Amino acid sequence: MLHPYRITDLGGEKNPLYKDPKAPIEERVNDLVARMTLEEKVLQLNQYTLGRNNNVNNMGEEVKKLPAEIGSVIYFDTDAELRNGLQRKAMEESRLGIPVLFGYDVIHGFRTVYPISLGQACSWNPGLVEQACAVAAQEARMSGVDWTFSPMIDVAHDGRWGRVAEGYGEDPYTNGVFCVASVKGYQGDTLADERRVAACLKHYVGYGASEAGRDYVYTEISKQTLWDTYMLPYEMGVKAGAVTLMSAFNDISGVPASANRYTMTEILKDRWKHDGFVVSDWGAVEQLVNQGVASSKKEASLKAFQAGMEMDMMSHGYDKYLADLLKEGKIPEERLNDAVRRVLRVKFRLGLFDNPYTKKSTEEERFLLPSSLEIAGKLAEESVVLLKNEDNVLPLSASAKIAVIGPIGKNKWNLLGSWSGHGRDGDVVSVYEGLEAEFKDKSRLLYAKGCDFEGEDESGFAEAVAVAKQSDVILLCLGEKKTWSGENASRSTLALPQIQEKLAMELQKTGKPIILLLSNGRPLELNRLEPVSKAIVEIWQPGVAGGKPIAGILSGRINPSGKLAITFPYSTGQIPIYYNQRKSGRSHQGFYQDITSKPLYPFGHGLSYTEFEYGAITPSATVVKRGEKLTVEVPVTNVGERDGAETVLWFISDPYSSITRPVKELKFFDKQLIKAGDTKVFRFDVDLERDFGFVDENGKRFLEAGEYYIMVKDRKVKIELVD
Ligand code: GLC
């Protein structure tokens, strides 16, 4: 039971230090913690939800239900009225007036939804992603959300796992770069800026290794793999200043992430000196009982807290048991105070003590601003990957009659993708609408749905075939529903449902060229669709821009520049298959007997409407010593007729080392526009320790003398590192 104090019961102290905006944050934190009761401290370490307020007249009910001293709530509304109602209760009806922290899943846009993260990664444009995250932050903060549970940076090799859609693909460095871009976009330079939100790196750590692509399951991760595959994005994100992390659901080789002292304390706090806090995933504290490391919610709360998790999301474990655990001497008071300090520190940095309320604004002032739509459109455009373009069938000729066929053709809702926040289907431009706007002569467009996303109903095939026969080219728009990826959305195969493939086979009989357009949240199994498609364009789930970018690409107004940030296997049976696998002892054997062992489209694959010719890689030296500088350059010439943006992916390989290493590892990338006929020199400033070095199973970085290769495309240069 909380003390029945009123704010005035501070012994008549009018301006306590913690309320002084001029005082240093650490002093304010310490002053406040010193004043708090045990109950007040415990409540700061809990997050509830504020429910969905569908009726402003009953918002009082929602607010009434919650204690004024609650640390945080998940906020599902799009305006700040309900939030300000609860905030007023916290500021004016509690003893100390500690503001509530409002969090929400702003994953790829709040209302202006841009491409899913897996698509963003294929743009290789972190600057643009930073801008998109800044838009999301502004829309969120102006709507009453101070904290987003994003970026999700779980390296994933298994497309059956639905959450592969939410991260930046299979490569650790790529996830790290886009993590940093997102943190900068969300947090900016000053968290107290009313257009910024606190970021949250998730799901810490190793969630992407979920066995068999199932969700919430065991992950077999050796300490070596933990460090060389999963920890790098988090280290980069913490160094970029991310103020919070979210602990994951998965069991990391016997120690669940949400009770893992090694990751949450020894590494995050002691080694990386993180001074923000860790929130659990939804109910993850209580789930420790199901995972078998705790016999009760009380024991689960103890284990999670001792491991270094500060805030309990929705388990109702900390609020119920932490006070008793402290009184029983099972958790030291100093640790409790440290946890509270970490939460308060983030609230002070966000400026919530000094500006607890969100200013009123209209939806027009907040959402879908022209500048926001422009950024979302640009990112959707740069995320598109041209996978195949046989006989340069694309771009389409100016007069071609186009038959738009397939379940994605006029669909809007599914183009938003999973975790689409407050995105609305009405905001989305469908593929068909994009084409109508692009190809002014409407008579050129024909349409038939052909079939649904799934099921056995082939009754639409005849109409689709008839429409196809009247056209010059078929734009076959296939793909996934938004609910087929994201959380709790694993699929046993990467293949699209049979009905969609059958439609393709029927259309192929018409003899008309098929341009296959794909909108999906994971890599797909295309080995049966590829042979019947003259071109294949991956648009991912592009958000509100929807069909606009692809229309520009089909017309040739836009030159596609995306490249895959995740491998497209030839078959689901190849999983796990990713570019940075370790070397085999017999690389000339060990292949599948029934199918190829190569992916259909490898990491980094993506075509352009122009051609880029790479020159020789020129290192500043071929023999280097530790601590010396090494730069490498490669000239790239646009030998085609049209301007285009090219991304150069710089890999290293270390043929011999004391721990086996992947066949190659991405260490840097750079994207530049190159005008037709021009040459641009791409440069990689190698940090020997960072780029040639490797981490051992304790995360200790080491650098060994020996030979290394720096690789770009099919070129490589040998570098000798001498002691
Ligand atoms: C979910 C997700 C997590 C999300 C959280 C709050 O279970 O795993 O990514 O941020 O709960 O919605």
Q: Whose CA is nearest to atom 10 of ligand 1?
A: 149
Closest CA to 528 of 602, 428, 610, 600: 600
The DSSP result for 570-623, as a single string, is: SSGGG-S--TTPBPPTTTTS---SSS-SS-SB-TT--B-SS-EEE---EES-SE
Residue 497 is given by DSSP the state P
| 619 and 539 within one domain | no
d(C-alpha 625, C-alpha 633), whole Å: 19
| 621 and 543 within one domain | no
In the predicted model, is pLDDT for residue 2 greater than 60?
no
pLDDT in tens, 446-497: 999 999 999 999 999 999 999 999 999 999 999 999 999 999 999 999 999 9
Residue of 75, 107, 149, 418 best suited for mutating to test ligand 1, as the one with most atoms within 8 Å of CB: 149
Return the pLDDT at 10.
Answer: 55
Mean pLDDT, to the nearest integer, of 75-83? 92
75 CB near ligand 1 (under 6 Å): no
φ/ψ (deg, to 5) at 3: -60, 140
CATH at 664? 2.60.40.10
d(C-alpha 203, C-alpha 512), whole Å: 46
* pTM of the entire predicted model: 0.97
d(C-alpha 529, C-alpha 430), whole Å: 23
| 543 and 413 within one domain | yes
| 518 and 435 within one domain | yes
Rg (CA), the chain: 27
The tokens describing 475, both together, are 């734009």
pLDDT in tens, 155-183: 999 999 999 999 999 999 999 999 999 99
313 found inside a domain: no
d(C-alpha 172, C-alpha 221), whole Å: 15
447 found inside a domain: yes
Closest CA to 202 of 148, 247, 256: 247
The tokens describing 242, both together, are 């991310």
Return the pLDDT at 57.
Answer: 57
Residue of 161, 282, 287, 312 best suited for mutating to test ligand 1, as the one with most atoms within 8 Å of CB: 282
Domain boundary among 549, 574, 599: 574
The CA–CA distances, whole Å, from 334 to 40, 41, 267, 306 equal: 15, 12, 19, 12
The CA–CA distances, whole Å, from 444 to 430, 441, 582 equal: 17, 6, 50
Cα(162) to centroid(ligand 1), Å: 13
Cα(104) to centroid(ligand 1), Å: 9
154 CB near ligand 1 (under 6 Å): no
Residue type, 433: E
CA 317, chain centre distance (Å):
29
In DSSP terms, 537 is beta-bridged to 386, 517
Return the pLDDT at 398.
Answer: 81
Handedness of CA 207, 212, 213, 214 (dihedral sign): negative
Closest CA to 450 of 477, 472, 430: 477
In the predicted model, is pLDDT for residue 59 greater than 70?
no
**Ligand 1 atom nearest residue 105's Cα:** 10
- Do residues 137 and 200 lie in contact, with contact meaning Cβ atoms separated by under 8 Å? no
pLDDT in tens, 566-587: 999 999 999 999 999 999 999 9
Closest CA to 337 of 29, 691, 715: 29
| 539 and 435 within one domain | yes
| 532 and 394 within one domain | yes
- Do residues 652 and 692 lie in contact, with contact meaning Cβ atoms separated by under 8 Å? yes
Q: Whose CA is nearest to atom 11 of ligand 1?
A: 282
pLDDT in tens, 304-356: 999 999 999 999 999 999 999 999 999 999 999 999 999 999 999 999 999 99
pLDDT in tens, 629-641: 999 999 999 999 9
Q: Whose CA is nearest to atom 7 of ligand 1?
A: 282
φ/ψ (deg, to 5) at 448: -155, 140
Quote the number of domains for the chain: 3
The tokens describing 2, both together, are 């909380």
381 CB near ligand 1 (under 6 Å): no
Domain boundary among 521, 545, 574: 574
281 CB near ligand 1 (under 6 Å): yes
Return the pLDDT at 524.
Answer: 98
| 666 and 534 within one domain | no
Q: Whose CA is nearest to atom 8 of ligand 1?
A: 281
In the predicted model, is pLDDT for residue 7 greater than 50?
no
Q: Whose CA is nearest to atom 6 of ligand 1?
A: 282
- Do residues 54 and 62 lie in contact, with contact meaning Cβ atoms separated by under 8 Å? no
CA 667, chain centre distance (Å):
19
Residue type, 620: S
**Ligand 1 atom nearest residue 103's Cα:** 6
The tokens describing 17, both together, are 């230090």
> Parallel, antiparallel, or unpaired for β 385-389 and 535-538?
antiparallel
| 534 and 419 within one domain | yes
Cα(455) to centroid(ligand 1), Å: 30
215 CB near ligand 1 (under 6 Å): no
603 CB near ligand 1 (under 6 Å): no
d(C-alpha 431, C-alpha 548), whole Å: 7
d(C-alpha 152, C-alpha 201), whole Å: 6
207 CB near ligand 1 (under 6 Å): no
What is the rounded (10 degree) CA torsion for 381, 382, 384, 385?
A: 150
pLDDT, mean over the chain: 96
Task: Please give the residue range of the domain that contains residue 76.
Answer: 1-15+39-104
Return the pLDDT at 54.
Answer: 55
φ/ψ (deg, to 5) at 442: -60, -25
Cα(681) to centroid(ligand 1), Å: 43
Mean pLDDT, to the nearest integer, of 255-268? 98
d(C-alpha 693, C-alpha 689), whole Å: 5
Cα(14) to centroid(ligand 1), Å: 40
Return the pLDDT at 3.
Answer: 45
| 626 and 563 within one domain | no
d(C-alpha 30, C-alpha 528), whole Å: 64
CB atoms within 10 A of CB 298: 18
In the predicted model, is pLDDT for residue 53 greater than 70?
no
Where helices occur in 643-718 by DSSP H, the ranges are none
518 found inside a domain: yes
> Parallel, antiparallel, or unpaired for β 694-695 and 701-702?
antiparallel
Question: Percentage of the chain surpassing pLDDT 90?
Answer: 94
Strands across the sheet containing 251-252: 218-219, 251-252, 255-256
The DSSP result for 64-121, as a single string, is: HHS-TT-SEEE---SSSHHHHHHHHHHHHHSSS-PPPEEEE--SS-SSS----HHHHH
Position 694 confidence tier, pLDDT thresholds 50, 70, 90: very high
**Ligand 1 atom nearest residue 149's Cα:** 10
Cα(282) to centroid(ligand 1), Å: 6
Return the pLDDT at 160.
Answer: 98
Helix (H, G, I), strand (E, B) or coil at 625: strand
Q: Whose CA is nearest to atom 12 of ligand 1?
A: 105
Domain boundary among 574, 603, 633: 574
503 found inside a domain: yes
In DSSP terms, 679 is beta-bridged to 637
Cα(711) to centroid(ligand 1), Å: 38
Catalytic: which of 154, 171, 251, 281? 281
Residue type, 277: F
Cα(446) to centroid(ligand 1), Å: 41
Residue of 246, 312, 422, 488 best suited for mutating to test ligand 1, as the one with most atoms within 8 Å of CB: 246
d(C-alpha 34, C-alpha 47), whole Å: 22
Please confirm, yes or no, whether 281 is among the known catalytic residues: yes
Cα(486) to centroid(ligand 1), Å: 10
| 656 and 530 within one domain | no
- Do residues 474 and 463 lie in contact, with contact meaning Cβ atoms separated by under 8 Å? no
The CA–CA distances, whole Å, from 682 to 177, 436, 709 equal: 18, 39, 17
427 CB near ligand 1 (under 6 Å): no
**Ligand 1 atom nearest residue 152's Cα:** 9
136 found inside a domain: no
494 found inside a domain: yes
105 CB near ligand 1 (under 6 Å): yes
| 562 and 663 within one domain | no
- Do residues 308 and 264 lie in contact, with contact meaning Cβ atoms separated by under 8 Å? yes
**Ligand 1 atom nearest residue 166's Cα:** 9
**Ligand 1 atom nearest residue 202's Cα:** 9
Helices 431-438 & 548-555 angle (0-180, nearest 10):
50
- Do residues 597 and 683 lie in contact, with contact meaning Cβ atoms separated by under 8 Å? no
- Do residues 435 and 446 lie in contact, with contact meaning Cβ atoms separated by under 8 Å? no
688 found inside a domain: yes
The tokens describing 703, both together, are 């650098």
Residue of 47, 102, 105 best suited for mutating to test ligand 1, as the one with most atoms within 8 Å of CB: 105
Match 């190659």 to its residue by tokens: 664
Match 């078959």 to its residue by tokens: 571
d(C-alpha 335, C-alpha 123), whole Å: 43
CATH at 464? 3.40.50.1700
- Do residues 535 and 560 lie in contact, with contact meaning Cβ atoms separated by under 8 Å? no
d(C-alpha 550, C-alpha 655), whole Å: 41
**Ligand 1 atom nearest residue 246's Cα:** 10
- Do residues 170 and 214 lie in contact, with contact meaning Cβ atoms separated by under 8 Å? no
In DSSP terms, 198 is beta-bridged to 147
282 CB near ligand 1 (under 6 Å): yes
Cα(558) to centroid(ligand 1), Å: 36
209 found inside a domain: no
487 CB near ligand 1 (under 6 Å): yes
Cα(34) to centroid(ligand 1), Å: 33
Position 14 confidence tier, pLDDT thresholds 50, 70, 90: confident
| 631 and 525 within one domain | no
Cα(538) to centroid(ligand 1), Å: 27
202 CB near ligand 1 (under 6 Å): yes
79 CB near ligand 1 (under 6 Å): no
Where helices occur in 451-584 by DSSP H, the ranges are 461-469, 498-508, 548-555
Residue 543 is given by DSSP the state G
d(C-alpha 79, C-alpha 65), whole Å: 20
